[in-house]
Structure 1
Amino acid sequence: MKTVCTSLLGLAGLALVALATPPARALDSSTGPLRIERVAGELIEPWAVAFLPGGGLLVTERGGRLWHIAGGKRTDVAGVPSVAAVGQGGLLDVMVPRDFAESREVFLSYAKAQGRGEGTALGVGRLSADGARLEGFREIFEMAPGARGGRHFGSRIVEGPDGHLFVTIGERGDRPSAQDLGQHKGSVIRLNRDGSVPADNPFVALAGAQPEIWSYGHRNPQGAALDLRGRLWVHEHGARGGDEVNRVEKGVNYGWPVISYGRHYSGATIGEGTEKAGMTQPAHYWDPSIAPSGLVVYSGALWPEWRGDFFAGSLNSDFISRLDPDAGFAEERLAAPQTGRVRDVAEGPDGAIWFLSVTNGALYRIVPD
């Protein structure tokens, strides 16, 4: 266990100590001027952030570290599983369930070595009272082996309204597998809290299908969130164009790689076009691609005008995308020097919009100016 101090900007709601210089106003927006405050720096490929009740937060680094940040210091949490930090793989998402105050459970998704390849896995442990270690960590799911290469692990975790767990899994660069229910590649899976399969999953009784699958035909979903009505949404990377926003529904096929609004990186067409019977259209798509990562549907706590809007980071164009689903997913792009390669976006308990920048190796929060 290693404890080090980091540059933290004061935030009473999360018991952080003010050590940083107050920032200047960073950007204007449709709802007025915004200020971007740096909360923690010196992060190496940060991937996800999650908030703890009563103050403090957790941040993953792809290389395999889990940081606990609270009270003016950060702690390198012990007890984290070994990960395959290969290509885009490594330690990925972190999710704090609603009953954390009682259970102290923390869920992690990660790339796991599987013989000559790697696959997305999910595990859970209990965070010690001092935040220094995960106790009794155990793996509760791993995708069926057979994937190779370091691409498209997906890996976002969402706790559903009824307590089930949703996990996104990319097609691992094996395009046709996203249409194969016998593989987990290119799917959103749904699990009970202990990793067992819910009896009402759509393909439980289908011979040869992976029973965890909830939806399929996805490319690489790197953002997932519940909207204010408790419905699950994901966004996913296209190839050259065709990044999508999809409302995830039971048993639905989202079409990859048969239909897409993008092209292969070579410029060649993908599949059979943009639509096909039995395959669902995206609610929104980007062309050209923004390489979206991280997703939150905003409550409206600090900006009532943005209630129900979607916020997603861009990994290739250095901005945060705000989408208004009530206006046909009209987009506003929030860009500043701090928004370089945004990997995760979250709403904090303070109502601020928080994000992780890979370029700057830092955690920030956006507040009204």
Structure 2
Amino acid sequence: MTPSRRNVLQGVAAGTAAGFVGLAGAQQTTTQQDGQRQGFFQEGTQVGTEMVANGQLTAPTDYAVAEGPNNREFVTDQTGQVYAITENGLSDEPFMDITDRMVELGTFYGLYADAQQNYDERGLLGIDFHPNFAENRKFYLHYSAPPTDELRTINWDHIEVVSEFQATEDFGSGNPDSERQLLRIPSPQYNHDSGPMAFGPDGYLYVPMGDGGGANDYMYGHVPDWYENNIGGNGQDIVHNLMGDVLRIDVDTQGEELPYGIPDDNPFAGEAPGRDEIYAYGFRNPFGISFDSDGNMFVADAGQNLWEEVDLVEKGGNYGWNVKEGTHCFSTERPSDPSAITDCPSNAPDQPYGGAPLQDPIVEFPHEYNGDWVGITVIGGHRYEQSTIPQLQGKYVYGAWTADPTREAPDGRVLTAEPPQNFGQGGQTQTTANQTEAAGNQTTTQEGALQDETTTTNQTTVEPAETENVEKAPAEEGTPGDVTTTPTGEEDIPPQGPGVVPRDQLWTMRELVFDGEFNWFVRQFGRDADGEILVLVNKRGVPEGDTGAVLRLVPSGQGDGQQTTEGGQQTTADTDETTTAAQDR
């Protein structure tokens, strides 16, 4: 369909939590009662880490393998560089540097950011290589570009860009002059910019996009949706913009008005109401996307004040934001009150959504549990399908940015989620689920995506409600290699209490135990050419310094115990302490 261009209402609604982060609060402590550990996550497999690369990285944002004879590996830095990975770590010079095309980090044009703040979510955010990179030398970058003069006059902050580039003929570097911009999506606020993108097993490019930023999904640049109890927002909108969605495009074809093609089976393709590019929607800040070998798509969605989630994404799926945060009703009027609304819809309207149900996540954890911080901002990972660490086989490995409520200490955590026993046996995957069947064409008549769009906003009232009480979940049985007791032999107790989802409704969640210390901000995950899990980390919560590093998970006792400090210097951890504190941002 063809969306109309709209003017922007330049009012700013108050918000209580912003961007990539959740609420600040008391410092994390370890609570023990009656000799029993009270943490939210049970302890899982013990692992080591091996340093892959460090020294020049500020804040690594994505990792990708260029499939070909050499299966070269690359990491992106938020500050604008793409580095190749060599036997000795990072390449001396960047494979490509797009700093001159990006918004200047720390310079804000919207009305939401504090002009003096160092925290920034924009930058070079994602990379992936064409499945036929060895033949066509094409690769794709997601980055934040400066706003146009027109956007600046209405206080929009920047433009999210997805571009195609080509490597030089000798594959030695990226050619900046080869840029072909595919998507230009104006963003009203500086935050909720998403990050990595991924080619699916069908050969199409899947591009997650955040809801436009700010808080609550109801500020200027956030359109009204169908849910009258909440103000906003872009997460539920499928007509006016491409924010709060996972997009699917065909980079190998072009439409009459678009620099890419639309897959025929996209849920809103052709004459169906809704933007042709949308594959799934209802996201706040989808931060990490991956596919397993069965074609299942995993997307982590960073929560706001209370809960974090990971979704198993299906075609046409509605993942709830801002009607819900995780499995819980969300209130734009009282976002920090879990009892503000307890009775919210379970389905979207028939038109134009086809009555799509609001999908619950496979993983959910709170920011705080029993007075302790659990984790700030979920970081999406990958399903482990190798045999090097057999205890992780089949589990989804993901994390939390930090556990420090002040967001200043590198207190991240690495987590696992084990699927139910019947997972993959007749269940829907990303290639089979389609809640909105509609015929489509390879091209589209909609307005070109390269035309910068603006939107209008509206506000409605909110009705208060209450939260549900959840009974205690039964204790989980340990899997081979998982630690089900603390080092002192104390039993782990599954979390319980108001708002805690029973564990039998989620995948089984545990926290990895590290040899030595793990004092890092967890920024993203990757897989190397052998399919082993990589953790992208740094020591700073802002894009400054050179403490970024890439770590590989290895079996316990086989890691190098290296830690990176300011200036890229390495030290060796000499303790066996485990970092158990964490919190969702």
Give the TM-score taking structure 2 as reference length.
0.54
Q: What's the secondary structure of 2:280's corresponding residue?
A: strand
8 Å contact 1:37–1:366 — kept in the other structure? no
Structure 2 match to 1:325 = 419
**Partners of 1:218 and 1:266 in 2: CA distance:** 16
- Structure 1 residues 1-369: aligned runs within 5 Å: 30-31=44-45, 33-53=47-67, 54-72=70-88, 73-78=91-96, 80=98, 82-86=101-105, 87-115=120-148, 116=152, 117-128=157-168, 129-134=170-175, 136-143=178-185, 145=186, 147-173=187-213, 175=217, 176-181=233-238, 182-194=240-252, 195-205=260-270, 209-261=274-326, 267-269=336-338, 272-273=341-342, 276-278=345-347, 279-288=358-367, 289-317=375-403, 318-326=412-420, 328-334=506-512, 337-338=517-518, 340-359=520-539, 360-368=547-555, 369=558
Identity of aligned residues (%): 25
Residue 167 of structure 1 and its aligned partner are, at CA, apart by 0.6
Residue 193 of structure 1 and its aligned partner are, at CA, apart by 1.8
The unaligned stretches of length 5 or more in structure 1 are 1-28
8 Å contact 1:260–1:270 — kept in the other structure? no
Amino acid in the other structure paired with 2:554 = V
How large is the Cα RMSD of the aligned pairs?
A: 2.6
**Partners of 2:55 and 2:512 in 1: CA distance:** 21
Deviation per CA, 1:64-92: give whole Å up to 9, x if none. 11112325333213463712244211110
**Which of structures 1 and 2 has the bigger CA Rg?**
2
Residue 304 of structure 1 and its aligned partner are, at CA, apart by 3.1
Amino acid in the other structure paired with 1:296 = H
Q: What's the secondary structure of 1:110's corresponding residue?
A: strand
Q: What's the secondary structure of 2:420's corresponding residue?
A: helix
8 Å contact 1:236–1:244 — kept in the other structure? yes
Amino acid in the other structure paired with 1:66 = V
Give the structure with the higher percent strand. Answer: 1
Deviation per CA, 1:263-300: give whole Å up to 9, x if none. 67962359844752211212221112441224111112
**Partners of 2:337 and 2:343 in 1: CA distance:** 14
* Cα 1:41–1:55 shift into 2, 3 Å: farther
* Cα 1:301–1:119 shift into 2, 3 Å: farther
* Cα 1:179–1:85 shift into 2, 3 Å: farther
Residue 56 of structure 1 and its aligned partner are, at CA, apart by 3.6
Give the TM-score taking structure 1 as reference length.
0.83
**Partners of 1:120 and 1:335 in 2: CA distance:** 37
8 Å contact 2:165–2:175 — kept in the other structure? yes
Q: What's the secondary structure of 2:135's corresponding residue?
A: helix
**Partners of 1:35 and 1:45 in 2: CA distance:** 18
Residue 251 of structure 1 and its aligned partner are, at CA, apart by 1.6
The structure showing larger relative contact order (alpha-carbon pairs under 8 Å, at least 6 residues apart) is 2
Amino acid in the other structure paired with 2:127 = V
Deviation per CA, 1:81-108: give whole Å up to 9, x if none. 7122442111101112332222222111
